[in-house]
Amino acid sequence: MHQIQREQTRRLLKSRNIEMAIFAHPHSVTWLTGFAAPVLTGPNLFCRCGAAGDLCG
């Protein structure tokens, strides 16, 4: 997944003599690593938690 793009990124960094880089934007990190979060992760859109931080059960 995204092997061509990752290789292009490696070549770009190497051509500019960059040995290490930090990618901080979440979309960049997931794109470069190929990470795909499971569908069932994240906030519950149907939960009506109060403003005081009540936890849904």
**pLDDT of 14-36, one tens digit each?**
999 999 988 888 888 887 777 77
Q: For position 26, what pLDDT does the model report?
A: 82
Instruction: Quote the pLDDT of residue 35.
Output: 77
User: Can you tell me which residue has the tokens 């859109």?
Assistant: 45
Give the residue extent of every domain in the chain.
3-33
Exposed e or buried b per residue across 11-46, where buried means at least 16 C-beta atoms within 10 angstroms of its C-beta: eeeeeeeeeeeeeeeeeeeebeeeeeeeeeeeeeee
| Whether the model pTM is above 0.85 | no
Higher pLDDT, 9 or 35: 9
Q: Bigger pLDDT: 57 or 15?
A: 15
